[in-house]
């Protein structure tokens, strides 16, 4: 996209003739109004085709979890040995299930109390179903009670203990804020009690986990279509857009040195700000030494705006974290949040908004909800990439005032260097790319699509209980906020550094770059060798500065220069 919006020499000359300028070496909306329409169309298509990718690509393939509904029966050894039992106040369904449990008891796995708690003290039971909890003590009835565990938004709190209820039912012990966990059941409770009796062991029905890897065809079609559009744009770009463009600083300087621009004659120490305030008249100008802040290459408004955008995003994430912690109704200490998991689906961290929970409407709305923050993150990446590109571009420019360097160009000639990056060196590009990859991944773990298939007591899929929604992870949000603050601090800190000075601040302004490329008339093929910027000639007390392959001296403070 940067290549598409980079101007050609003809487009730059046309702009300079109208006393305006174009950006060189950066992504620029300014250029879109002044370059060929075919490149504008291709740029817009590439930009628009990226939006659906960010919104849907992460959810084209997703995993559906399994949640089994089951019955817990508190029984004695007599029940295990086949004794007759009674179940007061229950319907035929429960009688049938309990009878089947007793008949199939030989196929059940024996679990010690601790193992039973670990297996059943989970949010979504996927590999087991019914369980017989065998208790100790003298009881006249082999069956003390049953408990229907239906899928809902609470975890399996019966592992923290039950009491005897009426009509052979079991009632869970009230746990404040549903704060029942495996840790509580194993280490904080004095004993594992069922129907007020201590548990000796459990007999558990082992079933096959029915989780699925799902493929969202409409989303994948949209993703493939967007990628096809991008491929089409690339092919057209190679086929139709063959005019050389100013992609790098060296591309522009090489062109201006080979064919100096008559529209910028006499402006050798003009800065970007001079051209922003109006086209200079070419009269002599005093040289004033100043070491510019790096944010000046970006522009104060853009630098402040970029960092403000990041700050707003971090603050918004902080409010989201506060809401998420409150929504989970658990303790807010780091250990508890860590135990909830990094991108892990838990019953306490599911969004329960009034959105469709099944079918294509439910899928699309939840996919958009889960991935919409990715758009904001991508915008931040573009903004910061542009900011650091401007800073790096200007550093490369200022270096030409201190030592001779060969120009870094797209198509090298002579001693020119081949470019292995656009305008962002690897020392910037690699950290920025790694941070971008990390934040996109952590964001996908902070807010994500959740599909839960609920199976009833008979093992049949219960579509009325199955849901599509979004889940969130508090600990992932904390990591994301931490990275956000680091990015913000780096953005502010990098902007407050200073360049070495000794050169007009040109930024990405094509006119300011052109103004520095008016070598002496007897100097030829300047662009092919190493060049340095400085004073090349003094006539009648007025000096002339330019990029040159010959010896140059630094300009003197308060002296006049033009040319």
For 479-492, what is each residue's pLDDT tens digit?
A: 999 999 999 999 99
Lowest mean pLDDT among 18-27, 276-285, 333-342, 535-544: 333-342
Same domain, yes or no, for 454 and 306? Answer: yes
Closest CA to 330 of 498, 175, 138: 175
State mean pLDDT over 409-422: 83
pLDDT value for 155: 54
Same domain, yes or no, for 207 and 345? Answer: no
Q: How far is Cα 278 from Cα 286, in angstroms, rounded to an integer?
A: 18
Higher pLDDT, 270 or 184: 270
Q: Hey, which residues does 198 pair with through a beta bridge?
A: 193
Q: How far is Cα 173 from Cα 176, in angstroms, rounded to an integer?
A: 10
pLDDT higher than threshold 90 for residue 546: yes
pLDDT value for 258: 93
pLDDT value for 175: 52
Instruction: Tell me the three state secondary structure of residue 164.
Output: strand
In a domain, 525, yes or no: no
Q: Which residues contact 180 (CB under 8 A, 6 or more apart)?
A: 121, 155, 157, 159, 160
483, 435 in Cβ contact below 8 A?
Answer: yes
Same domain, yes or no, for 316 and 188? Answer: no
Of 497, 513, 546, the one marking the end of a domain is: 497
Name the CA dihedral angle for 518, 283, 504, 299, rounded to a multiple of 10 degrees: -120
Higher pLDDT, 314 or 87: 314
468, 366 in Cβ contact below 8 A?
Answer: yes
Residue-wise pLDDT tens digits, 199-217: 899 999 999 888 888 888 8
State mean pLDDT over 274-287: 89
b or e along 405-417 (b: 16 or more beta carbons within 10 Å of the residue's beta carbon)?
Answer: ebbbbbebeeebe
In a domain, 429, yes or no: yes
Closest CA to 518 of 281, 271, 263, 272: 263
pLDDT higher than threshold 80 for residue 137: no
Q: Give the CA distances from residue 311 to residues 298, 305, 387, 484, 487, in Å, rounded to whole numbers and listed in that order.
A: 18, 10, 15, 8, 9
Of 212, 236, 266, the one marking the end of a domain is: 212
pLDDT higher than threshold 90 for residue 153: no
Q: Give the CA distances from residue 137 to residues 78, 168, 196, 384, 473, in Å, rounded to whole numbers and listed in that order.
A: 11, 17, 10, 69, 43
pLDDT value for 178: 46
In a domain, 536, yes or no: no
User: pLDDT category, 361, cuts 50, 70, 90?
Assistant: confident
Same domain, yes or no, for 72 and 203? Answer: yes
Of 176, 192, 212, the one marking the end of a domain is: 212
Same domain, yes or no, for 208 and 302? Answer: no
In a domain, 317, yes or no: yes
In a domain, 368, yes or no: yes
Same domain, yes or no, for 306 and 201? Answer: no
In a domain, 137, yes or no: yes
Same domain, yes or no, for 187 and 302? Answer: no
Higher pLDDT, 366 or 92: 366
7, 24 in Cβ contact below 8 A?
Answer: yes
Mean pLDDT of the chain: 86
Same domain, yes or no, for 187 and 303? Answer: no
In a domain, 346, yes or no: yes
Q: How far is Cα 129 from Cα 458, in angstroms, rounded to an integer?
A: 9
State mean pLDDT over 244-250: 90
State mean pLDDT over 301-306: 94
Same domain, yes or no, for 378 and 493? Answer: yes
User: pLDDT category, 117, cuts 50, 70, 90?
Assistant: confident
Residue-wise pLDDT tens digits, 31-71: 998 989 999 999 999 999 999 888 888 888 888 888 898 98
Number of structural domains the chain divides into: 2
Q: How far is Cα 327 from Cα 177, in angstroms, rounded to an integer?
A: 11
Q: Tell how many helices (H) and how many strands (E) occur in the chain.
A: 18, 18
In a domain, 127, yes or no: yes
Same domain, yes or no, for 190 and 77? Answer: yes
Q: Which bin fits 537, alpha (ψ -120 to 50), beta or left (φ > 0)?
A: beta
Range of 74's domain?
65-212
């Amino acid at each position: 996209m940067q290549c598409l919006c980079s101007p050609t020499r003809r487009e730059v000359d046309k702009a300079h003739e109208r006393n305006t300028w174009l950006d060189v070496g950066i992504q620029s909306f300014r250029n879109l109004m002044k370059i060929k329409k075919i490149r504008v169309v291709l740029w817009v298509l590439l930009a628009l085709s990226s939006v659906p990718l960010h919104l849907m690509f992460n959810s084209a393939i997703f995993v559906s979890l399994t949640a089994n509904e089951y019955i817990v029966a508190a029984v004695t050894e007599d029940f295990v040995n086949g004794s007759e039992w009674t179940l007061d106040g229950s319907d035929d369904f429960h009688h049938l299930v309990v009878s089947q449990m007793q008949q199939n008891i030989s196929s059940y796995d024996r679990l010690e109390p601790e193992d039973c708690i670990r297996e059943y003290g989970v949010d979504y039971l996927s590999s087991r179903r019914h369980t017989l909890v065998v208790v100790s003590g003298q009881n006249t009835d082999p069956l003390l009670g049953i408990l229907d565990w239906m899928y809902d938004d609470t975890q399996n709190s019966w592992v923290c203990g039950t009491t005897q209820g009426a009509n052979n039912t079991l009632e869970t012990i009230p746990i404040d804020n549903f704060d029942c966990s495996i840790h509580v059941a194993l280490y904080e409770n004095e004993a594992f009690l069922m129907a007020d009796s201590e548990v000796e062991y459990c007999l558990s029905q082992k079933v096959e986990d029915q989780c699925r890897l799902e493929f969202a065809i409409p989303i994948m079609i949209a993703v493939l279509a967007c990628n096809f559009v991008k491929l089409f744009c690339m092919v057209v770009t190679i086929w139709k857009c063959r005019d050389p463009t100013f992609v790098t600083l060296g591309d522009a300087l090489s062109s201006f040195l080979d064919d100096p621009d008559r529209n910028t004659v006499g402006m050798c120490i003009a800065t970007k700000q001079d051209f922003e305030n109006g086209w200079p008249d070419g009269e002599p100008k005093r040289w004033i030494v100043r070491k510019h802040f790096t944010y000046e290459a970006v522009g104060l408004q853009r630098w402040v705006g970029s960092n403000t955008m990041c700050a707003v995003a971090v603050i918004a994430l902080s409010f989201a974290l506060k809401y998420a912690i409150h929504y989970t109704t658990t303790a807010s200490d780091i250990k508890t949040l860590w135990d909830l998991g990094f991108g892990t689906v838990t019953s306490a961290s599911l969004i329960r908004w009034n959105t469709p929970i099944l079918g294509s409407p439910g899928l699309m709305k939840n996919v958009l909800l889960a991935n919409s923050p990715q758009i904001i993150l991508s915008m931040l990446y573009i903004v910061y990439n542009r900011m650091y590109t401007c800073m790096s571009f200007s550093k490369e420019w200022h270096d030409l005032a201190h030592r001779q360097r060969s120009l870094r160009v797209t198509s090298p000639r002579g001693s020119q260097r081949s470019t292995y990056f656009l305008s962002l060196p690897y020392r910037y590009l690699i950290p920025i790319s790694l941070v971008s990859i990390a934040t996109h991944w952590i964001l996908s773990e902070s807010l994500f699509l959740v599909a839960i298939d609920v199976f009833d007591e008979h093992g049949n899929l219960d579509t009325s209980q199955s849901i599509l929604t979004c889940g969130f992870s508090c600990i992932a949000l904390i990591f994301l906020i931490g990275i956000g603050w680091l990015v913000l601090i780096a953005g502010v800190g990098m902007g407050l550094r200073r360049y070495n000075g000794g050169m007009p601040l040109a930024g990405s302004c094509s006119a300011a770059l052109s103004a520095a490329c008016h070598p002496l008339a007897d100097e030829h093929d300047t662009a092919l060798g190493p060049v340095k910027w400085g004073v090349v000639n003094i006539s009648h007390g007025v000096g002339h500065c330019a990029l040159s392959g010959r010896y140059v001296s630094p300009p003197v403070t308060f002296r006049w220069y033009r040319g």
